[in-house]
Amino acid sequence: MQRHFHEELEGLKQTLLAMGALVEDQIRRVMRALVERDDGLAQEVIDRDRQVNTYDVEVDEKCVELLALHQPAAGDLRFITTAMKIVTDLERIGDQAVNIAQRAIELNREPQLKPYIDLPRMPESAARMVKESLDAFVNRDTALARQVCAEDEAVDALKEQVFRELLTFMMEDARTIPRAIRLILISRFLERVADHATNIAEMVVYLVEGKMVRHTLA
């Protein structure tokens, strides 16, 4: 019985990792769609969100089943409750990719406002944070988890830099406002991806050390 339970826990972990790999890829694809002005790729990202949602339901149902059937304690209980929180953050990262894809399709209907320089650096950092937070989860690596939390500040700084630059465009030419606002929204969506990665990293510290550190790591 115990062996079967741990096999189910391992299956749960593998499903979470598959979901994590998918949302990480969604972020990379959607930014390629934006930079290359590729509507087809943006639509693919929107369509693939169904698979993200399928993983979300699958993990949630498996966690509830494990709690009900096995009534786990201590470390196993923390693992399952952590998985339930991580899957929520991963699903929301998937939602942010869809939000970016929708704005990218809208932007592609008009001439490009400016070359994208700082904006593509945000998804590079955010996608890396997602990967590192999941690596920390798999390896129970609290040092890596804390590193992810520290990286969030760099993404915040990039968002502010993008905002200041786009604000200049809007002040100089009111015709740029609709395009600039969409780009500002994209930067905010990417900032939220980094925030969700930070949430996952904080939950890894809880999983390993048994203490909540939300809003205390930076």
User: pLDDT tens digits, residue range 21-53?
Assistant: 999 999 999 999 999 999 999 999 999 999 999
Does pTM surpass 0.85?
yes
Q: In 10 A of CB 163, how many CB atoms?
A: 15
The domain locations on the chain are: 2-209
pLDDT at 214 over 80: no
Q: End-to-end CA distance of the chain, in Å?
A: 41
Contact 123, 27 (CB under 8 A): yes
Taking phi over 0 as left and psi of -120 to 50 as alpha, with beta for the rest, 210 belongs to: left
| Predicted pLDDT of residue 218 | 52
| Predicted pLDDT of residue 72 | 83
Categorize the per-residue pLDDT at 217 as very low, low, confident or very high, splitting at 50, 70 and 90: low
Assigned CATH for 2-209: 1.20.58.220
pLDDT at 159 over 80: yes
Structure tokens, 199: 């949430």
Type of residue found at 186: I
Q: What are phi and psi of 71, to 5 degrees?
A: 45, 60
| Predicted pLDDT of residue 118 | 82
- Per-residue pLDDT, averaged over 137-151, amounts to 94
The larger pLDDT score, comparing residue 73 to residue 158, is at 158
Q: What is the 3-state secondary structure (H, E, C) of the chain?
A: CHHHHHHHHHHHHHHHHHHHHHHHHHHHHHHHHHHCCCHHHHHHHHHHHHHHHHHHHHHHHHHHHHHHHHCCCHHHHHHHHHHHHHHHHHHHHHHHHHHHHHHHHHHCCCCCCCCCCCCCHHHHHHHHHHHHHHHHHHHCCHHHHHHHHHHHHHHHHHHHHHHHHHHHHHHHCHHHHHHHHHHHHHHHHHHHHHHHHHHHHHHHHHHHHCCCCCCCCC
Structure tokens, 161: 């830099």
Cα 119 to Cα 54: distance, rounded to the nearest angstrom: 30
Dump pLDDT digits (tens) for 77-96. Answer: 999 999 999 999 999 999 99
| Predicted pLDDT of residue 25 | 95
Q: Cβ neighbours of residue 132 under 8 Å, at least 6 residues apart?
A: 144, 147, 148, 151, 197, 201
Cα 95 to Cα 198: distance, rounded to the nearest angstrom: 17
Cα 139 to Cα 33: distance, rounded to the nearest angstrom: 33
| Predicted pLDDT of residue 213 | 67
Cα 79 to Cα 13: distance, rounded to the nearest angstrom: 9
| Predicted pLDDT of residue 116 | 84
Dump pLDDT digits (tens) for 46-69. Answer: 999 999 999 999 999 999 999 998
